[in-house]
Amino acid sequence: MNHTNIRSIFTFALSSQLVLSACGSSSTNNFGVESNIDGESVATIISDRVAMSQVVFLPDSEKAALVPDLPATQFQIVSIAEGKVVYEGALTDSKEWQVAKGESYKVADFSTLNSAGDLILRIDGVEDKAFQIKQNAYDKLHDASLKSFYFNRASTEITEEYGGAWARAAGHLDEKVNYHVSTLKGSAKEGSSNSKDVLLIASKGWYDAGDYGKYVVNSGIATYTLLAAFQHHPNFYQNRKINIPESGNGLPDLLDEISWNLEWLEKMQADDGSVYHKLTTLKWPGKEMPHQDKRALYVIGKSTSAALDFAAVMAMASRVYGKQSDTYLTKSQQWLKQATSAYQWAKANSDLRYVQPDDVKSGEYGDDFFHDEFSWAAAELFLATNDTQFITDFTQYQQPFTVPSWQHVSALGVISLLSAEINNLDEAFYQQLRKTLLDNADVYVAQYKESASRLPMVADDFVWGSNSAALNKAIVLMQAYRLTDNAEYKAVASSLMTYVLGKNPTGYSFVTGFGQKPAMLPHHQASQSDGVSKPIPGMLVGGPQNGQQDGCDYPSDEPALSYADTWCSYSTNEVAINWNAPLVYMLAALIADQKASEE
């Protein structure tokens, strides 16, 4: 390519829709590889290409590209408008990433370049790569990722006014839900379980993922993460509209969206305080739209984890919504009561594991260790009631801090306690929590520095839903940034955002609808059966991991490379609410911080 003809390169890039569009989902990507949207396409691995965020960069963020192992030692950034080199840097030495063996990369890091503009990354031996830095880089992406929760609403029609091309009929009204015989566990109350005349109404809620199940445990962390996004960035959300039916009702759209799920969740509790583990059909749905799934619905099982996650979220919700309006004051009191009775039930039934009944095939979300759930629920109940007995409980149950996930929730209570608006914690206790969080964030920073890909991702992170491990680590790093104001934490957090948006060795943007080569065939029943070629935008797929539990074809067995953009690959290409929630949180955090730095 002619290096002097900068404008023509840029025009070419634009006309081919190769770059710059935050919502482009062209079927041709910038590596010249066809994304086969109708059939099954298998990921190609980076070998002779540069991989970087496929979405516009925020000025105030880490900016880096993975570069193949070429002789070049330098890189340049050229400004299109000025027609000259505005930045020059050295490529790092080439290094193999431990989770992507067989590939060596150099890294071009231009994080300090932070003025908005149209730019080109130039390295001898590879094609020029056009990109942009822009103040509002993540706005559309944020709104779409939040809107994807709306698209996953159960019990409602999605009209064209709000759903556009993805309008669909209502599915799963959940007005006549059966009690599965397993709900007898831990309670003598449901004496007439399975009888046709005792049915539960448990409408609303979000579908968990590609399937149409609603699971209390996974709803727990997903709802927490969205509530935390609101609590930590209230100004950002105050007037933010995403065009949902409730927009303009006086409540921020984010809270309207979350309350759709809370109104389902509140129904999942029995009179004695116990909580049903899930509400699903007995078998998985087929490749069909929600309204076509006519299988009978059941509440299934009870568990200590469901009760505690329920208690934590309801307590947190009571705190957030109680302040919003008089309308929510009553709700808020009701939710706190429900949280308290769920917690008490869990104390009396402190080791009730969910065991999947033989006739049930839906998701399991099984757990057999509940101290982390106890500590999280105790933290939220303390914050909602100010009763110090809950701090005593928290201390008794506190576990080592881990990357947040549906199964490991020890970090959630710590984050809530550290970010409470009024900190009336004992100073030594507060400092202990702070140190716990910062120690972990420091480990992630060290992993970032150590990694060939400039990513704080290690083998243990490449689990089912690895992209959520990435973004949950980012959330922890953002808490460290909030606590210390040390910009390094934020930079490393933002490297995880650019990772899911394309700075990764698979060549994909893991968010549907965003980037030149986004996931096109997510394992999402509605997206695959609605007759629309593009999937619902703003959904984060699970991401690479080499368990390959689905037996599909993969281009590699390496953890960070074992990814396939195929319907078949539910172990790497499904979507889920607990994976999208940290995407929403992180986008809100980065946008809000960018805006604050401009004020």
184/195 Cα distance (integer angstroms):
13
Closer residue to ligand 9MR in complex, CB, 105/579? 579
Closer residue to ligand 9MR in complex, CB, 363/513? 363
Q: Which among 60, 149, 147 has a CA at the least distance from the CA of 592? A: 60
Closer residue to ligand 9MR in complex, CB, 273/290? 290
Closer residue to ligand 9MR in complex, CB, 186/465? 465
- Should residue 461 be labelled a site residue for ligand 9MR when binding is judged by CB under 6 A? no
Interaction with ligand 9MR in 194-253: which residues (CB under 6 A)? 208-209, 211, 213
Q: How far is the CB of 295 from ligand 9MR (least distance, A)?
A: 15
Closer residue to ligand 9MR in complex, CB, 213/518? 213
Q: How far is the CB of 468 from ligand 9MR (least distance, A)?
A: 8
Cα–Cα distance list, 495 to 197, 381, 396, 458, 491 (Å): 54, 34, 35, 14, 6
- Helix, strand, or coil (residue 69): coil
229/592 Cα distance (integer angstroms):
11
Listed in sequence order, the residues at least 6 apart from 215 whose beta carbon sits closer than 8 Å to its beta carbon are 208, 277, 278, 279, 280, 363, 365
Q: How far is the CB of 374 from ligand 9MR (least distance, A)?
A: 21
Active site residue 565: yes
The answer to whether the CB of 169 falls within 8 A of the CB of 291 is yes
- Should residue 513 be labelled a site residue for ligand 9MR when binding is judged by CB under 6 A? no
Number of residues engaging ligand 9MR in binding (CB under 6 A) = 11
DSSP per-residue letters across 97-146: -TTSTT-EEEEEE-TT--S-EEEEEE-TTS--EEEEE-TTTTHHHHHHHH
Q: How far is the CB of 211 from ligand 9MR (least distance, A)?
A: 5
Q: How far is the CB of 162 from ligand 9MR (least distance, A)?
A: 25
- Should residue 530 be labelled a site residue for ligand 9MR when binding is judged by CB under 6 A? no
75/252 Cα distance (integer angstroms):
44
Q: How far is the CB of 98 from ligand 9MR (least distance, A)?
A: 22
- Should residue 284 be labelled a site residue for ligand 9MR when binding is judged by CB under 6 A? no
159/556 Cα distance (integer angstroms):
41
Q: Which among 428, 405, 396, 200 has a CA at the least distance from the CA of 309? A: 405
- Should residue 367 be labelled a site residue for ligand 9MR when binding is judged by CB under 6 A? no
- Considering only 46, 268, 339, 576, the residue that binds ligand 9MR (CB under 6 A) is 576
Neighbouring C-alpha atoms within 13 Å toward the C-beta of 254: 31
Active site residue 211: yes
Q: Which among 582, 567, 457 has a CA at the least distance from the CA of 519? A: 567
- Helix, strand, or coil (residue 482): helix
Residue number, nearest CB to ligand 9MR? 363
Closer residue to ligand 9MR in complex, CB, 282/483? 282
Residues 211, 309, 372, 393: which is the catalytic one?
A: 211
Residues 118, 208, 461, 574: which is the catalytic one?
A: 574
- Should residue 559 be labelled a site residue for ligand 9MR when binding is judged by CB under 6 A? no
- Helix, strand, or coil (residue 283): coil
The answer to whether the CB of 523 falls within 8 A of the CB of 210 is yes
Query: Residue 106's beta-bridge partner residues?
Result: 67
Q: Which among 157, 146, 465, 148 has a CA at the least distance from the CA of 289? A: 157
- Should residue 364 be labelled a site residue for ligand 9MR when binding is judged by CB under 6 A? yes
Q: How far is the CB of 298 from ligand 9MR (least distance, A)?
A: 15
Q: 461-464 — which CB contacts under 8 Å span 24+ positions?
A: 461/403, 462/99, 462/544, 462/545, 462/546, 462/559, 462/560, 463/405, 463/545, 463/547, 464/542, 464/545, 464/547, 464/549, 464/571
Q: How far is the CB of 521 from ligand 9MR (least distance, A)?
A: 15
Residues 142, 277, 523, 524: which is the catalytic one?
A: 523
* DSSP 8-state secondary structure symbol assigned to residue 87: E
Give me the 324-363 binding string for ligand 9MR, x by CB under 6 A, dash otherwise.
---------------------------------------x
- Considering only 182, 574, 587, 593, the residue that binds ligand 9MR (CB under 6 A) is 574
Closer residue to ligand 9MR in complex, CB, 273/544? 544
- Considering only 171, 465, 518, 538, the residue that binds ligand 9MR (CB under 6 A) is 465
Q: Cα-flanking dihedrals φ and ψ of residue 466, to 5°?
A: -60, -30
Closer residue to ligand 9MR in complex, CB, 68/285? 285
Interaction with ligand 9MR in 36-65: which residues (CB under 6 A)? none
103/175 Cα distance (integer angstroms):
53
What does the binding site for ligand 9MR look like in residue numbers (CB under 6 A)? Answer: 208-209, 211, 213, 363-365, 464-465, 574, 576
Catalytic residues: 211, 523, 565, 574
